[in-house]
């Protein structure tokens, strides 16, 4: 049977699986066939797991258990906790199993049961290889499940494989991967973005229905923007960092990538929650967020957006998106965020400082690559010199510099204070607007090898780092296209902890931007 993957969403696939239109195995096979066709060119996956079919069969077994007729008085307890017991007076008994009760059942079976997902190569799945696309973790197998992974296993999701990324999530194009660049499905001469480029490309090219990425300064949103899909960076702490290979611990977030806002929310709901293994994790208060488009005030920091490096087409598309939102009934207001001009500098001090600290653990002694030197110190120097790629070593050196005693006050302490000012600036702005909008990235996807100078790649993070510095949630949704047909993204940000509001706003924006006119 053939499944139309192009238009498939988690919601549609879930319905089809529950109705028995096709099996989780057939769905997984469809994605494996797509991967076999495309991955050689795109290099989105570093590894396709050899037990995908077994995982899918396990999901099918759960689905079958659900489909089997109920005996009188028997209760369904699959997935979530709702009680599906039918009244015994029901004359039709359990006959219309697939139609009448399908929607009710959707609430009972986990919406991710049998759904094929891709996972970024910096999120641990017990027993499987994981390496943050770095040679220094060559051969390493995860000894435990990340919190997000444990939740997805519980939900019955199927993991297709691990996706390419910039080494230790350091970059915006996956050009820093030790295993080759991931190509953009919309134009294979161009980058897919990064650092979660493999995850975004996999979703965009129908090589996965949705994926997990991680976002330290835009690593979920920028590749989502470049590949024309949706990417969410949740509030800091909304998803536990347990089992995420650390980059900048005060900035790192695991986030979902999917084709629609609704799918993104399904995945987000499955992975969030308080985890005793991450003391910064929080339980979000998610009330039924009923945001109406006519009540929505969108703040636009005009001076910040119209920066000198912004591409003309990106700016034009951003204005078109705002106009569509206005036409749909939203109010667009100009806001001032003067402190945001320090956001990028602040980020490129704090992140390398934290990275240099976090990456001290890779010493060739406990796990991964080991290279011989003359003595123990020589082992460290050789292992780290050879195991880390140029960008990682560059950031470790910058981090070491800004934390060294002579420069600590001038850089790191100053950046920490600027961070507080940026948070304050945003909190003030959110008193008058529901969400803040910017383009996700200042340019469309660039050509592979086009940017030689690391600083020019850093500048692509100008609009995304702010949310990480402030800890607030932000999402990228597809806007329009460049003249060359490349996807452009619209970023929305909401106050800390207001992830539900952000997703409600994103759903309204998605509707306004992509309504057939």
Partner 1 sequence: MVTLEEIEKLAALARIELSDGEKQAFQKDVGAILEYVSSIKEASVGARGAPALSPALPVNVMREDTNPHESGRYTETLLRAAPQREWNYIRVKKVL
Residues with catalytic function? 120, 195, 219
Between CA 406 and CA 190 the distance in angstroms is 42
Q: Which is nearer to partner 1, 292 or 413 (CB)?
A: 413
Between CA 274 and CA 81 the distance in angstroms is 19
Q: How far is the CB of 345 from partner 1 (least distance, A)?
A: 4
Does residue 249 belong to the site contacting partner 1 (CB under 8 A)? yes
Exposed, middle or buried: residue 334 (CB in 10 Å: 0-12, 13-18, 19+)? Answer: exposed
Give, in order, the Cα–Cα distances in Å from 399 to each of 25, 241, 394, 464: 47, 21, 9, 20
Q: For partner 1, which residue of 26, 454, 481, 514 counts as binding (CB under 8 A)?
A: 454
Does residue 140 belong to the site contacting partner 1 (CB under 8 A)? yes
Q: Which is nearer to partner 1, 103 or 280 (CB)?
A: 280
Q: How far is the CB of 427 from partner 1 (least distance, A)?
A: 6
Does residue 93 belong to the site contacting partner 1 (CB under 8 A)? no
Among the candidate windows 1-9, 58-66, 172-180, 410-418, which touches partner 1 by CB under 8 A?
410-418
Q: Which is nearer to partner 1, 279 or 432 (CB)?
A: 279
Q: Which is nearer to partner 1, 113 or 136 (CB)?
A: 136
Q: Which is nearer to partner 1, 242 or 321 (CB)?
A: 242
Q: How far is the CB of 454 from partner 1 (least distance, A)?
A: 5
Does residue 415 belong to the site contacting partner 1 (CB under 8 A)? yes
Between CA 409 and CA 415 the distance in angstroms is 9
Q: How far is the CB of 414 from partner 1 (least distance, A)?
A: 5
Q: How far is the CB of 274 from partner 1 (least distance, A)?
A: 10
Q: Which is nearer to partner 1, 90 or 375 (CB)?
A: 375
Residue 395 contacts residue 375 (beta carbons within 8 Å): no
Could you give the count of Cα atoms lying within 13 Å of 421 in the half-sphere of its Cβ? Answer: 14
Residues 6+ apart with CB under 8 A from 310: 439, 442, 443
Q: Where does 100-228 have alpha helices with state H?
A: 102-106, 147-155, 197-204, 221-227
340 to 399, contacts with partner 1 by CB under 8 A?
A: 342, 345-346, 348-349, 356, 360, 363-370, 375-377, 379-382, 384-386, 388, 390, 393-394, 396-398
Q: How far is the CB of 469 from partner 1 (least distance, A)?
A: 10
Residues 6+ apart with CB under 8 A from 215: 196, 221, 231, 233, 252, 253, 254, 255, 464, 468
The pairing of beta strand 435-439 with beta strand 297-300: parallel
Between CA 188 and CA 194 the distance in angstroms is 15
Does residue 41 belong to the site contacting partner 1 (CB under 8 A)? no
HEC letters along 14-33: HHHHHHCCCCHHHHHHHHHH
Compute the residue count for the chain.
Answer: 517
Does residue 424 belong to the site contacting partner 1 (CB under 8 A)? yes
Could you give the count of Cα atoms lying within 13 Å of 394 in the half-sphere of its Cβ? Answer: 12
Does residue 237 belong to the site contacting partner 1 (CB under 8 A)? yes
Does residue 402 belong to the site contacting partner 1 (CB under 8 A)? yes
Q: How far is the CB of 286 from partner 1 (least distance, A)?
A: 16
Q: Which is nearer to partner 1, 169 or 203 (CB)?
A: 169
Does residue 465 belong to the site contacting partner 1 (CB under 8 A)? no
Among the candidate windows 2-10, 208-216, 448-456, 505-513, which touches partner 1 by CB under 8 A?
448-456
The pairing of beta strand 230-233 with beta strand 474-481: antiparallel
Which letter, b or e, does each residue of 292-310 get, where b requires 16 or more Cβ atoms within 10 Å of its Cβ? Answer: ebeebebbbbeebbeeeeb
Does residue 408 belong to the site contacting partner 1 (CB under 8 A)? no
Does residue 149 belong to the site contacting partner 1 (CB under 8 A)? no
Does residue 147 belong to the site contacting partner 1 (CB under 8 A)? no
> Total residues at the site for partner 1 (CB under 8 A)?
68
Between CA 507 and CA 71 the distance in angstroms is 41
Q: How far is the CB of 87 from partner 1 (least distance, A)?
A: 46
Does residue 150 belong to the site contacting partner 1 (CB under 8 A)? no
Q: How far is the CB of 443 from partner 1 (least distance, A)?
A: 18
Dihedral (CA of 30, 35, 36, 42) sign: positive
Does residue 308 belong to the site contacting partner 1 (CB under 8 A)? no
Residue 176 contacts residue 170 (beta carbons within 8 Å): yes
Q: For partner 1, which residue of 110, 199, 339, 358 counts as binding (CB under 8 A)?
A: 339
Query: Which of these, 178, 229, 234, 172, lies nearest to 197 by C-alpha position?
Result: 172
Positions that interact with partner 1 (CB under 8 A):
140-141, 143, 236-237, 249-250, 276, 279-282, 339, 342, 345-346, 348-349, 356, 360, 363-370, 375-377, 379-382, 384-386, 388, 390, 393-394, 396-398, 400-402, 404, 410-411, 414-418, 420-421, 423-424, 427, 453-455, 458, 471, 496-497
């Amino acid at each position: 049977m053939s499944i139309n993957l192009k238009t498939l969403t988690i919601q549609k696939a879930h319905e089809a699986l529950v109705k028995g239109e096709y099996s989780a195995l057939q769905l997984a096979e469809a994605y494996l066939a797509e991967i076999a066709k495309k991955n050689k060119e795109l290099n989105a996956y570093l590894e396709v797991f050899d037990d995908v079919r077994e995982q899918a069969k396990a999901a099918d077994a759960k689905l079958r258990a659900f489909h089997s007729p109920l005996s009188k008085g028997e209760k369904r307890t699959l997935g979530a906790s709702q009680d599906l017991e039918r009244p015994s007076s029901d004359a039709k008994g359990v006959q219309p199993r697939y139609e009448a009760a399908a929607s009710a059942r959707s609430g009972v079976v986990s919406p991710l049961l049998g759904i094929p997902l891709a996972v970024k190569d910096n999120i641990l799945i017990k027993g499987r290889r994981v390496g943050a696309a770095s040679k220094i973790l060559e051969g390493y197998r995860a000894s435990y499940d990340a919190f997000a992974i444990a939740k997805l296993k519980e939900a019955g999701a199927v993991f297709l494989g691990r996706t390419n990324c910039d080494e230790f999530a350091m970059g915006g194009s996956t050009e820093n991967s030790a295993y080759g660049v991931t190509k953009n499905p919309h134009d294979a001469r161009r980058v897919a973005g990064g650092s979660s480029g493999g995850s975004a490309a996999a979703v965009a090219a129908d090589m996965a229905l949705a994926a997990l990425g991680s976002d330290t300064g835009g690593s979920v949103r920028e590749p989502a923007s470049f590949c024309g899909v949706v990417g969410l960076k949740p509030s800091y702490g909304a998803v536990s960092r347990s089992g995420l290979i650390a980059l900048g611990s005060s900035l790192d977030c695991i986030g979902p990538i999917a084709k629609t806002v609704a799918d993104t929310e399904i995945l987000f709901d499955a992975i969030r929650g308080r985890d005793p293994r991450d003391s910064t994790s929080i339980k979000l208060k998610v009330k039924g967020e009923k945001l109406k488009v006519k009540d929505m005030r969108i703040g636009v920091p005009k001076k910040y957006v119209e920066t000198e490096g912004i591409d003309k087409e990106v700016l034009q598309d951003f204005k078109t998106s705002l106009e569509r939102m206005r036409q749909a009934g939203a109010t667009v207001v100009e806001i001032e965020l003067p402190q945001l001009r320090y956001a990028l500098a602040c980020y490129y001090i704090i992140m390398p400082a934290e990275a240099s600290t976090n990456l001290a653990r890779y010493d060739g002694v406990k796990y991964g690559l080991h290279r011989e030197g003359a003595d123990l110190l020589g082992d460290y120097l050789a292992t780290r010199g050879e195991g880390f790629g140029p960008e990682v070593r560059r950031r470790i050196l910058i981090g070491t510099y800004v934390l060294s005693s002579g420069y600590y006050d001038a850089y790191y302490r100053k950046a920490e204070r600027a961070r507080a000012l940026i948070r304050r600036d945003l909190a003030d702005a959110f008193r008058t607007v529901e969400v803040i909008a910017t383009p996700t990235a200042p340019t469309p996807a660039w050509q592979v090898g086009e940017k030689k100078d690391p600083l020019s790649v850093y500048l692509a993070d100008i609009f995304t780092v702010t949310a990480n510095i402030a800890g607030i949630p932000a999402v990228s949704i597809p806007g329009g296209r460049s003249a060359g047909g490349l996807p452009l993204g619209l970023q929305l940000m909401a106050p800390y902890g207001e992830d539900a509001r952000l997703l409600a706003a994103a759903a309204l924006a998605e509707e306004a931007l992509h309504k057939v006119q």
